Structure 1
Amino acid sequence: MEWESKVSELPVPRRVNIGIVADRALDRAAELVGAWLRDGKRESLEWVATNPTRRDKHPGSFKVNLKTGAWSDFALGDAGGDLVSLYAYLFGLRTQVEAARELAQALGLPDSEVYSDAPPALEAAKPKKSTPWAPVLPVPEDAPLMHKAHVMRGMPQRVAVYRDGAGRLLGAVMRFVTSDGGKDDVPHTFCRHEETGQTEWRWLSFPEPRPLYGLDALAARPDAPVLLVEGEKCKDVAAAHLDEFVVVSWPGGSKAVAKVDWSPLAGRRVVQWPDADCKRAPLTKAEKAEGVDPGCKPFLAAEAQPGLKAMVQIGALLAGLGCELWRLELPQVGTLPDGWDVADAFEKDGWSAEAARQFVAERQRRVDEVPVPVGVMPVTEVPAVVEAEVSAPSRLDASAALRPLLDRFALVHGKKRVFDLRHCEEMSWSAFVAFLKNDKRQADAWLAHEDSKVLMQHEVSRLKRDASERLLQQDQDFSDALQRYVYLDGSSTIWDQQLQKIISFQDLKVALGDAHKVWLNSPMRRKIDRRNLVFDPSLSADPETHINMFRGLPMAPAFPGGRAPRVRELGELVPLFPACEKIIELTMHLCDDRVEVWEWLINWLAFPLQQVGMKMSTALLMHSDVQGSGKSLLFEEVVKPIYGDYGATIDQDHLDGNFSGWRSMKLFCLFEEVTSVSERFTQSGKLKHLITGKTQLIERKFVDAWEEANHLNSVFLSNSALPFHVEASDRRMMVVWPSRKLDEDLQDAVLQEIADGGVEAFYGFLLSVPLMYARDGVRRPFGAHTKPAETRERLRLIALGLAPWEAFLVDWQQGKLGVPYGPCLAYQLYGMYHDWSLRGREKSVLPYRKFGQLVESRIGSRQVKHYRHGTAKSQATLFLPIRCPHGEVEQDWLGQYVMLFQYEARDAGWRVDEWEMYKPAPIRAVVKDGKERVAAL
């Protein structure tokens, strides 16, 4: 017939070789994937990016293997095995055939290579599944506990546990914080391997149709209205405040609406609370080329925003289920922050439950008909749910003898080696033949059978690793190791929870042996950002995201009557603590029974214990030439034990060493003789930073350096009269000089109190101290910045540390030189300094110019001035430590002081006449009114 002849003339459809296109695309994988996912970056063999097909703001959940072409969205469970399927997924093509055709054209492949003239098979082969693992719902009761952490993402920030209407576990969705501070929601389900039957927890999405989040609450309250929100966090926050509703959500966000089972909401009253998205119109190609700012584009219409768009889609689905549908009318687009939702209302905006109820009451609108806005996919066009693949029976049934071998063994790809799936062991071909009792024919039949399995080498390695991990996870020691060791992301170091210290990876390998490899690859391995390991005695760090190295002071204080007494004066407190009476007496003895000094010392010891972690801006220096005064007894045997491991005794070697690990995690340090005579000036800067620095760099051998908050308070003990240099203006140091040796009876009594719990009682005493301090007859609160008392030993220490020229000025100011402290000729003051240095046998004398500069820097003024005594007028360089009084004639006032300085210096025995040798030569002659005048320096 005519129509038959026409049909016979039609060209036979050509078959597309998808595998060939995928292989050719793989040769240019980095170039292609980089062009398709421009916001991503390469990490080893993977391309990490955001998923452009959904609301995905942070890279990490969408990855493409550039070596194999396999790709996966860990948040949704969407995946594929080659770049053709990736092309179809990203560009919305219905079939891989279409994707292969377009990709082949883009790659410029010849038709002879891409197409085959053979007619297509009568029955198209079903697409291969991306994974042989299939979720099991509900989770069996004997299943192991789900993972606490992800192998790459570490500990989750939030865990949403899904249950069915009977309360049975279905799985979870865990929220992780990404390296750039974003959020990544990853589903976690219990799965079974379709080939081996092995079961374990995997990071795979729920099977479709996916369950709602909140099914157990729906079943428990069948008559309650339903509040539908987007996201597990919103569901949890809303459920905690709005108990009149049953709050539910769904997994996967706005792009996964069609993949959810909405039937549990049938016939219910549902109120939808959409996210307040504020997306702008996309840039055109021309605008992108011109570099137009995306922020200048107008907002999309409300119905085109993702949050409302998803709710409209859901509404269309719920309408067919007989639901009474209501939806909250949000403010105009752009009024609220982008993505604002019910969780933001409570957590960021501080709404009360009543405010939220009022918002719902005022904003809810009845949805009778659900129109589909422009740009929203109609329900009829929602892609059909892809059913799980069912393995087709093989064309040739294996014999009874081969079936056990086919189920148990697999060939290793590229090698003549066999893998035992039952015992997860690899064996040579000869060993396999020997296992079959040298039946080579049976071995060859197994190898030739079409149902014999083939495993890639990486699959063999993974199965071995998984088997090893399962064995180790049953070992209590390894289970303890997973909890004990925490990887510090961004470094090569680990936090040891048991030892409470940072260790190197080499230390971990020694501790775990071969098991360290399993620990390294275990999804249960704990991980935190290195910056989130902190030493925070104030306990203000969030325990959900941080590890605090501080675990609290180890000692329990002892109070009379079991509670801290409340008094207003320190003197009232002492009789209430008889258990540490002698220890308190020891503190008074070290202060030479001076009440003002003792009260300052007790307040300084008490403040950082009452406010743990408080950094004092002062340190205590207790030094004396008296051996056995009891300094070490108080601070080594009484104070330091209160701090336990957070206290330390430091010597000169610690301070001079290249490493500073001894400072880490310390609240109290006792420095014993840390400075020698030659280093008392060079160590000054380091000690100042220890006392007042806010942070400190911690360096330990074989471990990455890190910065840590400085909560260290310091006590320096010395038997030297000049342990280190203290400047007159420096207010960091409280100086105490015990002048008496400790009585043996008091020493024995203190030791007995320590043995009988006196340290615990003294700790209770310090916690009860009213933090008040008297100075100049006025009582004031004692705080971290209270200045030290101006003790006589502090003044003596300052004087001992003065440079010779500074000591000379102090003697002049205090009238010890026999001359008035006032204006004087510069050369005469230098002459007196020279004589003073010779009398004191100083090793070196400053030259005239340097002396003048230093003195000027201290007293503030050196000028050329006219001065007059009687009728004689002169001009010279003078030091002016004081100003001319108001009402005086400056020239006469200066002249009186200059002559008085000269007369009294001669009377005091100074060699005034020899000072003329220091008088500088005139530098110029000034002619005025015909007379020559000399201007001197």
Structure 2
Amino acid sequence: MTAQVYNFNPPKGKREWLPITPVPDDAPAPPVNHYKHGEPNFIFRYNNLDKKLMCLYCRFKRAEDGVWLNLPLSYCRHVETGKEEWRWIALAEPRPLFIESNFGQWRDGMPKLVVGTEEAVGIATMQLNELYDAVTWPQDARSVKKADWSWFKEGDEVVIWPDCNSIREPITKEELDAGMKPEDKPFLPAIKQSGIAAAETVAQILQARGCKVRIVDVPAPGVKPDGWNIMHADDEMSVEEIKTFITDHLRAPIPLNERGISTAILANAGEWKEQLFYKDGLVRECRENVYLILQHHPDWKGVLWRDEFSNRIICRRDSPIGKLQGSEWLEEDDFKLGLWLAQNLRLFIKASSNLADGIRAEADQNKFHPVREHLDSLVWDGKDRLEDWLSDYVGVEKSPYTSLVARYFLIGMVARIYRPGCKMDTALILEGIQGEGKSTLAKILAGDEHWFSDTVFVMGEKDSLQGLRGRWVYELAELDSFGKAESTRAKAFISSSTDSYRAPYDRTFKDHPRQCVFIGTTNQIEYFKDPSGNRRYWPVKSNGEVKLDAMRQVRDQLFAEAVQWFKNDMHWWPTRDEQINLFLPEQEQRELEDPWSKLIYDWLNSHSLSKVTVLDILLDAVGVEKSKIDGNKQMSTRVGICMRKLAWQKHRETSGAREYYYARPEKPKKEGSDDPLPF
């Protein structure tokens, strides 16, 4: 393609024209005379890795002040008319990198040399092609982040040769009026020179891509003419001397910077950097700055989140320290963050508490609930299944009682997620399911194996409460093995709506609303050793024919329906009538029979007493010697349970010693009696 020289009118609106990339083979020759700056001094072809032309950059030396300008020229199409022509428009970001169009190569495994100008790429390609692939970015030092650095791969070895600038501090009007000259001002620190700042930014970008980066330690500002680079070194040194200069002057990226965070890193970072806290011009080592960096730095923004379900800190993006998306942030990761801040931002956090506080504050700003997100994603198909899943898939005989249990339990599971700590003081008890089927069924209900646990749980131990974090379903295996004391503790534990424990990054124990439900399993038919509090258990008996695959297929629809019931304000506990008429009979069937019940029943039936005391029953019905009656009232409690089951009512005398007694229940009236109707 031969460049054609002719004048070109200025574009009236960049948005009207969109660049076409790569440039079509049949595109006309590009204009090179600029409407204002005339003929360019240099023209650089920017190709993609397939060596297809993407655009041109034309270098002009401005006549009025000698400043060099690097302007883009792209082949474009008009968005309305479809007309195609060359325009002085830049490509959309990210923009291609520049390698020498005739001899330059991009070879896998070859070390890369990043320089600051296209001319420097040409010299490096000619002199060092056997050692490096030379490359630069378009335009100037301020455009580093607009380039397409995806050409670089993980593991690439990279050397960056910065332009050596010698810019002085700006002079003020007052200083000029006082007779000071611009050359009297000191040179800016190296890190504030545009070439070094650009090199550090490139290094940060490439390190994040997994490259091994070193920077050529060029002479200090003022030692060389402004803009000194490999092109000027080629005039001063032999090729071998240039090679030696590079190897002898390599340093790690980000030199020590007394400001704490380098100017290069903060350049173009947005207004957030102004929120950082400073003291004596230095960025302070404090938890607030840790938080602000995690909140706003492009590499960290959106990484750390608080999982409200498990009360853990989770990475929801890959982090710069190698923590992958979905992984839990652990205490040892605090050190890695501190190291990253030191190596990349030169911010040294000495107090580990400042790191921890900043991490916690950032995570608490970004909260999510994985189970709630899962439930919100479900769409119910409108088919009623909720009351039938126990009978259809778990081998439980269908009845009014089992239908209610099926419905209430799943709605209760949903309620615990949308309203943590809500009333759900009951546990589903699965009877008769052999082997691993019961745990597998519980896992299916949980939906994610991480949301289920069946580890041994020690009631009352605070450390055990940590095991409830992030669990939706907790299996209490072999419920029949619980002793009486353990059974009592289990009922109290199931009734609790909060759990107190110290979560990661918390300094003290806190009450956390409970979000899990419990499923008990047993192969026995009588296992309630303590008759009190058994309303907390909803037992169902399976014939052992559990359809696990079918349950997996229908599981999401069951919970989609349960969510609809919950959002329509359906309760998830039995009414009083349901408890008395449906639930209580099932619960009483599982109680271990007390031998005193038969003794007391027979004794009461053999006597026509209208009322009896506990002492009467212990001495005459059970035959306990008076001296053996315990003082802690366990025998009295046992008698009371038996009498309640026999429907005898407890009363108290109104005079004398006001002793408690049990009154014989009234006989039910026979149908057809002459007693008046109750209305």
Give the TM-score of the pair, scaled to structure 1.
0.33
Please give the TM-score of this superposition, normalised by the length of structure 2. 0.44
Asked which structure has the greater RCO (Cα within 8 Å, sep 6+), the reply is 2
